[in-house]
Amino acid sequence: MSKFHSMVSRRDFMKGLGMAGAGIGAVAASAPVFHDIDELIASDTAVQPRPWWVKERPIDDPTIEVDFDMMERHDGRNQGQSARVRAMYYGADRVLGAAALSAAELAERTASNYPGYTYRSRALAGSFKRVSPGTAPGWAETKDPAPVKTPEERGEPKWTGTPEEASRMLRAAMRAYGASLVGYTELTQEHRDHVIFSYEKGDSNNEKYIGTDVPVTAARPIVFENVTKAYETTEKLVIPNVPLWEIALSTQGSNELWRSSGTLLGGFANSNTFYNCGNLHASTYNFLRYLGYQLIGTIGNDSRYVGSEGGAAIMAGLGEASRQKLYTLTPEYGAPGRLYGVLTDLPLEPTHPIDAGIYRFCHSCQKCADHCPPQVISKEKEPSWDIPLTEGKETIFSVKGTKAFYNNLPLCRQYSNETSHGCRICWGECTFTVNRGSLVHQIIKGTVANVSLFNTYFYKLGEAFGYGADAEKAETWWDLSLPTLGQDSTITAADGGYGK
């Protein structure tokens, strides 16, 4: 048949129609259809999607090099935040004098109407109250609010499913309770021998322990025992020698508040990340309890952390290490937010460490270090296995076994306590603490993940374009219309049309 008068013959048209119909049919047949919740949790679409530029790495092989043989279980009492540890390096007089300096700065800035210290700023930051149930959770039991009944108490079998199903189910539940990113690691023997803290932090930060040993009643040892259930006494915290998995999770922060760091609003940025921790802990504990499983450790109470929350986040692929050692930066929201790590005996599928080029970028970028008022952040070009001395003394607050950049954490906390705002300027200054309005951020993040050649250029560009913290932003903040809690929870959403 001649095609002179028509570009498409009737036969071709019908053939095309058939092909299109078959194509639509194939797409429809392969599209997910969920009949009930059990099918939904088994679906791949329930897996937490990451930005396109994030690559997975093998289990236990994050971008920061780790040598478990070098690593010893860290004593949670030896933290840079601890008054006792700070006094070891800077003396008791300076540690105890911090509050007076902070009060003097507050009075001076209030008198001069400094940005972020206006009447309304003082009201906002000073009125933060964390009122929620479950604010005093236990090591293995949370009795307030009243716990749900276990499967045994209800007379039904405990929930069972594959680790993949359990992982998706728990992630969906924790996200609904207020978590942002959620990942998992298996608690291997190496983790038990080298990663889990040897002591809880407990009350060891208290100034009354300056110059003394911390008694076990104030900070208990964390021990493994051949029991099936975790428990605690006044002298120890017990982890059972049963298969366990660590849940690494984050809650979010408010970028705009963090960019006001160096003011009272910047201090409030830190408080803002804690708003829902008590509810998140209590709900997650009870969710696992309802299913018939344990939650060990606490979400939101760092006095009973099972280990470094940054380490767990890195191993589970929530983010990567940074110029501030294990302070983790996530591809989604950079520095703001809060990390937690807890244990469970619900079998979970481990998630992989990630490579988004973040740690490699930190090798070239030192924006946080440049802007750090007490200059406690390393400016070394390359990370090291060797922990440097601190003020000529052994650095007892850092953990060996990672090829990292090391910070003077006692001076960091000491300086923070001596200010009226708590500092945290590094979080607001971080190159990765950016929003999503400009397309350029996605382009740069995608480039950084694959090519390190432009890293120094991007770091300098961020400075030139004026990204970062500024006290003046504390006053313009009041006129902004921001999301609830100031946190962009849609940044981790892939379904429902919420993700941009």
Partner 1 sequence: MWFFIGILIGALVLGFIWWLKHKNLHLTWYEWLIGAVGLILLVFTLQNFMGSFEEVESKAAYMFLLVTGLPSLILLALTWQLAARRLSKA
Residues of this chain that bind partner 1 (CB under 8 A):
256, 434-440, 464-467, 473, 476, 480
CB of 442 to partner 1, least distance (A): 10
In a 13 Å sphere around the CA of 5, the CA atoms on its Cβ side amount to 2
Q: Which two tokens stand for residue 98?
A: 């911090």
Rounded to whole angstroms, the Cα distance separating 247 from 316 reads 8
If you count DSSP H runs as helices and E runs as strands, how many of each does the chain have, helices first? Answer: 20, 11
CB of 54 to partner 1, least distance (A): 22
Q: Which is nearer to partner 1, 111 or 439 (CB)?
A: 439
CB of 428 to partner 1, least distance (A): 13
Q: Which two tokens stand for residue 366?
A: 């030192």
Whether the CB-CB separation of 363 and 381 falls below 8 Å is answered with yes
Whether the CB-CB separation of 264 and 120 falls below 8 Å is answered with no
CB of 307 to partner 1, least distance (A): 36
CB of 266 to partner 1, least distance (A): 15
CB of 190 to partner 1, least distance (A): 43
Rounded to whole angstroms, the Cα distance separating 367 from 378 reads 11
**β-strand 237-240 against 222-225: which pairing, if any?**
parallel
Rounded to whole angstroms, the Cα distance separating 229 from 219 reads 21
Whether the CB-CB separation of 377 and 407 falls below 8 Å is answered with yes
Residues pairing with 199 in the sheet: 75, 221
Q: Which is nearer to partner 1, 58 or 437 (CB)?
A: 437
Q: Which residues of 344-381 are buried (b: 16+ CB within 10 A; e: fewer)?
A: bbbbbebbbbbbbbbbbbbbbbbbbbebbeeebbbeee
CB of 469 to partner 1, least distance (A): 12
Q: Which is nearer to partner 1, 235 or 472 (CB)?
A: 472
Q: Which is nearer to partner 1, 361 or 467 (CB)?
A: 467
Whether the CB-CB separation of 64 and 320 falls below 8 Å is answered with yes
Q: Which is nearer to partner 1, 206 or 435 (CB)?
A: 435
Closest CA to 296 of 339, 341, 261: 341
Rounded to whole angstroms, the Cα distance separating 292 from 88 reads 45
Q: Which is nearer to partner 1, 124 or 277 (CB)?
A: 124
Whether the CB-CB separation of 355 and 449 falls below 8 Å is answered with yes
Closest CA to 174 of 74, 295, 5, 332: 295
Q: Which two tokens stand for residue 387?
A: 């922990």
Q: Which is nearer to partner 1, 37 or 440 (CB)?
A: 440
CB of 27 to partner 1, least distance (A): 23
Q: Which is nearer to partner 1, 453 or 464 (CB)?
A: 464
CB of 456 to partner 1, least distance (A): 17
Rounded to whole angstroms, the Cα distance separating 11 from 456 reads 61
Q: Which is nearer to partner 1, 134 or 334 (CB)?
A: 334
Q: Which is nearer to partner 1, 176 or 440 (CB)?
A: 440
CB of 257 to partner 1, least distance (A): 12
